[in-house]
Amino acid sequence: MMELKLGKDEILENYRDELTDAEIYAALARVESNDKLREELLKLSQYEVSHAEFWKFIAKQAGIDVGGIKPSRFSVTFSVLIRRLFGLGFLVKLRESAEVEAIKRYGEMVRRKALGPYTDRLREILLDEVSHEEVFKEEESRFEAFIDNIRDAMYGMSDGLVEVLAAVAAWRPSSPTPPCS
Ligand SMILES: [Fe+2]
Ligand SMILES: [Fe+2]
């Protein structure tokens, strides 16, 4: 019996999250018209697929069946919707917080060596997630400059429109209640 300091639910949850991330990036690539961005998204998706495979392997080691596990349709649809309705900037924020979430979770597991002999591979995966977060952080700083320009342009607009734009600009996808739930 392998030494895993991780419950069955946790293993399945990590597997499902990686499957979902893979599907999110694949779905975003399908609707992306910018060639460079599409390529980047496909690359991210492939990384997440390999992470999912790792969790599938861990589950197998622990004698857990992953047959019934599917990616979260809601998260995939939600991400594509955000991209379509609010544009790249908001999607970037949403994905950044998802990657940070994974970094925290995996960091904690690496620290307590929850995966025994497979901790090294988990550390590599953790570094992948850090580089994913970097991708989005870079995009985000570009987006923030864009928002600043909008703020400057807002002087002179009607009060109602300013309020709407300000609310949109201040919204953080990491907050517990996204606007469309
Ligand atoms: Fe991942
Ligand atoms: Fe990632």
Q: Answer yes or no: is 1 within a domain.
A: no
- Give, to the nearest 10 degrees, the angle between helix 8-31 and helix 35-61: 160
Q: Answer yes or no: is 113 within a domain.
A: yes
Give 3-state DSSP helix, strand, coil % of the chain, rounded to 5.
75, 0, 25
Number of domains in the chain: 1
Q: Answer yes or no: is 174 within a domain.
A: no
* Among the bound ligands, the one closest to the CA of 25: 2
How far is the centre of ligand 1, averaged over its atoms, from the C-alpha of 177 (Å)? 23
What pTM did the predictor assign?
A: 0.79
For the stretch 139-155, pLDDT in tens is 888 877 777 777 676 65
Range of the domain at 29: 8-140
How far is the centre of ligand 1, averaged over its atoms, from the C-alpha of 24 (Å)? 11
Domain containing residue 37: CATH number: 1.20.1260
For the stretch 95-147, pLDDT in tens is 999 999 999 999 999 999 999 999 999 999 999 999 999 988 888 888 777 77
Q: Answer yes or no: is 161 within a domain.
A: no
